[in-house]
């Protein structure tokens, strides 16, 4: 028996040692990997800047995921600001002779593609070429690629050019069938985030706003595609309605592509453009590597800080998304940093917690008292995302930004019928009249509903109050365009919800000008990118491991819906949040 326990103990010790050695080896691999990534990149003569499938365009450093769960991810994440700067630099770089767009499925948001497209359009003024090649091309990738001088398609390829549509999923019958009760309190007939729990179809108000929004965005994008490809507007509509891009020969016939060739032939075509010989190597450099090839020279000590606010807004402390405790810390640091002369708040958020949004807005208002604060909108600046912009001296939006959604709601699920059907009942002992105003089994008491309704109405009035102050309009004017309605950036400019249509770069230039800075200043990003080690130890958190495993299995969008239903903290909050996201897939 003694020898048995010795053997068991020896095996346990051996396993522990192996785990320690493996972990140490894993850490060392990351160290060497990060050391290797710091090597300088040489840009050779006759190089072609390439936007390919391994390029992920992200809006904020907090969107970068480099931990344990992404160790095999070979894609290069590039900040949209860095991508634009790289294209601008390539315009005057003698070693860069042109741009090749080779992304069948582009990982970027709609406003990011707009900015890339604008930068490439400007790049073409240099006289350098821009070519694009595709196999099975998504609509978003074609939107970018259509800016090229020439678009080449694989002979067995396709272009998924189809227009925009949205599909809304409804849960009312499902909830009724399985005995799940959902108490909904909202302000605003357009606050459609709660409709899936109340109806089985799209309300007239929601259909109106979705139709307007989709048509605004499609008008912007389709006009640019048709103009670049020199296709008549009526003909282009026929091409899209008929899905001609699905058939390569039809795509060629209707001017979506200039020639059907294989990828090897495409590379040879570029070599010929560069006057290279057959034995010469074609030097392609990815957007990410090109950015690594140069560094900021640090023109002066003065800085314009870009504070990225990307993702949902939450209470507490966290890195990914927007957490109030963390962002209050960032804002105070920027407020006290004498080298930071102005701040640009880059918002890419559908909103979230009303309380967290209010905390962040207050701190931004304090920051504004000390230095210029300019806001730039990305793909989304809705509900809480729009709310925190109300401290700005000036607001820039992209034409396709989903903007506004000035509205408030609360969703409280309960399971009384489901529990009763399965023989589960509860009884309550309490000290006060409303000690148990909410129960997951019995729902919300009538008095609880009335108080939550008052809270929602009070939060909405507070929301509109700050909007009236910033936009210099009356309560009635803002209320008439509020009610939870989402607008495109183009419409938001027309109705006064934003000041200018422009990019992040435009906002940075204005902030520098307002701060009295000349051409020599640095642009610093906040929050700083999390290191590989920090991301690893963050991943080791039990909740993070569970969340990332579930997210990887069911997808990010489905995970967010699940989290809304199952996370008790989220259930108890009054929300300022947009109901959906729009992608040009």
Please name which of 117, 71, 151, 59 lies closest in space to residue 381, comparing C-alpha atoms. 59
Pairing of strands 500-501, 522-526: unpaired
Count Cα atoms within 13 angstroms, Cβ side, for 515. Answer: 29
Distance separating alpha carbons of residues 41 and 179, to the nearest angstrom: 61
Report the DSSP pairing between strands 438-439 and 443-444.
antiparallel
Q: What is the per-residue pLDDT for 297?
A: 45
Whole-number pLDDT of residue 34: 47
Yes or no: say if 216 and 206 are a contact pair by the CB < 8 Å rule.
no
Task: Note the pLDDT of residue 71.
Answer: 45
Residue pointed to by tokens 């493996």: 22
Q: Are 504 and 115 in contact, with CB atoms under 8 Å apart?
A: yes
∠ CA 551-552-555, nearest 5°, is 60
Q: Classify each residue of 355-374 as buried b or exposed e, where b means 16 or more C-beta atoms within 10 Å of its C-beta.
A: bbbbbbbebbbebbeebbbb
Complete DSSP assignment for 274-310:
TT--TTSPPEEEEHHHHHHT-------S-EEEEEEEE
Q: Which two tokens stand for residue 37?
A: 């990534």
For residues 229 and 203, is the Cβ–Cβ distance under 8 A?
A: no
Q: Which of 143, 169, 507 is nearest to 345 (CA)?
A: 507
Residue 35: predicted pLDDT: 47
How many angstroms separate the CA atoms of 181 and 179, rounded?
6
CA of residue 285 relative to chain centroid, distance = 26
Distance separating the N- and C-terminal Cα atoms of the chain: 66
List per-residue pLDDT tens for the chain, 585 residues long.
556 556 656 666 656 565 555 555 555 554 444 444 445 678 999 999 999 877 789 998 888 754 444 444 456 789 999 999 999 999 999 999 999 999 898 888 999 999 999 999 999 999 999 999 999 999 999 999 999 999 999 999 999 999 998 888 888 888 888 888 877 777 766 566 678 877 888 888 888 988 999 999 999 999 999 999 999 999 999 999 999 999 999 999 999 999 999 999 999 999 999 999 888 999 999 999 999 888 654 455 899 999 999 999 999 887 788 999 999 999 999 999 999 999 999 999 999 999 999 999 999 999 999 999 999 999 999 999 999 999 999 999 999 999 998 988 777 787 888 778 888 888 888 888 888 888 888 888 888 888 888 888 899 999 999 999 999 999 999 999 988 889 999 999 999 999 999 999 999 999 999 999 987 889 999 988 755 544 554 544 545 555 555 555 555 555 555 555 555 554 556 767 765 555 556
Residue with tokens 């967010």: 560
Identify the pLDDT of residue 68: 44
- What values do phi and psi take at 463, rounded to 5? -60, -55
Q: What was the pLDDT predicted at 579?
A: 54
- Residue 578 is predicted with a pLDDT of 61
Peptide bond just before 527 cis, omega within 30 deg? yes
Orientation of helix 556-566 relative to helix 542-554, angle to 10°: 130
Written as six digits, the tokens of 216 are: 């605004």
Give yes or no for a contact between 494 and 412, defined as CB atoms under 8 angstroms apart. Answer: no
- Phi then psi for residue 135, to 5 deg, are -110, -90
């Amino acid at each position: 028996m003694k020898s048995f326990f010795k053997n068991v103990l020896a095996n346990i010790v051996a396993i522990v040692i192996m785990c320690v050695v493996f972990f140490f080896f894993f850490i060392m691999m990351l160290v060497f990997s990060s050391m290797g990534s710091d090597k300088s990149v040489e840009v050779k003569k006759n190089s072609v800047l390439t936007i390919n499938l391994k390029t992920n365009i992200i809006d904020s450093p907090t969107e970068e995921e480099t931990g344990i769960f992404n160790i095999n991810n070979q894609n290069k994440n590039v900040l949209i600001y860095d991508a634009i700067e790289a294209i601008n630099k390539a315009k005057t770089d003698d070693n860069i002779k042109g741009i090749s767009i080779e992304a069948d499925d582009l990982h970027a948001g709609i406003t990011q593609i707009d900015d890339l497209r604008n930068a490439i359009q400007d790049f073409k003024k240099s006289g350098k070429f821009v070519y694009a090649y595709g196999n099975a091309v998504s609509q978003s990738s074609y939107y970018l690629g259509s800016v090229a001088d020439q678009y080449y398609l694989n002979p067995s390829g396709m272009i998924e050019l189809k227009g925009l549509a949205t599909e809304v999923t409804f849960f009312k019958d499902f909830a009724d069938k399985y005995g799940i009760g959902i108490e909904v309190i909202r302000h605003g007939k357009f606050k459609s985030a709660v409709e899936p729990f109340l109806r089985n179809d799209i309300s007239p108000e929601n259909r109106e706003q979705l139709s307007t929004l989709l048509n605004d965005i499609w008008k912007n994008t389709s006009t640019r595609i048709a103009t670049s490809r020199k296709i008549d507007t009526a003909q282009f509509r026929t091409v899209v309605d008929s899905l001609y891009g699905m058939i390569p020969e039809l795509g060629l016939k209707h001017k979506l592509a200039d020639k059907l060739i294989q990828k090897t032939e495409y590379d040879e075509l570029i070599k010929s453009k560069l006057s290279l010989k057959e034995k010469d190597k074609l030097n392609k450099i990815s957007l990410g590597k090109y950015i690594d090839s140069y560094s900021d020279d640090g023109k002066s000590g003065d800085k314009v800080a870009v504070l990225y606010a990307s993702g949902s807004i939450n209470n507490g402390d966290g890195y990914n998304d927007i957490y109030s405790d963390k962002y209050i810390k960032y804002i105070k640091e920027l407020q006290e940093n004498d080298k930071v002369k102005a701040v640009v708040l880059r918002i890419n958020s559908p909103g979230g917690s009303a309380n967290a949004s209010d905390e962040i807005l207050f701190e931004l208002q304090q920051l504004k008292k000390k230095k210029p604060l300019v806001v730039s909108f990305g793909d989304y600046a809705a509900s809480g995302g729009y709310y925190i912009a109300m401290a700005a001296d000036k607001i820039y939006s992209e034409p396709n930004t989903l903007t506004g959604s000035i509205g408030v709601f609360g969703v409280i699920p309960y399971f009384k019928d489901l529990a009763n059907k399965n023989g589960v009942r509860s009884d309550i002992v309490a000290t006060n009249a409303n000690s148990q105003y909410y129960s997951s089994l019995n729902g919300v008491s009538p008095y609880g509903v009335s108080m939550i309704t008052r809270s929602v109405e009070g939060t909405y009035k507070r929301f509109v109050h700050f909007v009236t102050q910033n936009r210099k309009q009356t309560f009635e004017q803002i209320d008439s365009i509020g009610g939870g309605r989402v607008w495109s950036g183009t419409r938001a400019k027309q109705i006064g919800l934003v000041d200018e249509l422009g990019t992040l770069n435009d906002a940075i230039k204005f902030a520098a000008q307002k701060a009295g800075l000349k051409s020599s200043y640095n642009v610093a990003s906040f929050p700083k990118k999390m290191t590989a080690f920090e991301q690893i130890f963050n991943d080791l958190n039990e909740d993070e491991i569970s969340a990332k495993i579930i997210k990887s299995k069911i997808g990010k969008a489905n995970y967010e819906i699940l989290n809304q239903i199952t996370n008790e903290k989220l259930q108890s909050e009054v929300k300022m949040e947009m109901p959906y996201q729009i992608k040009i897939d």
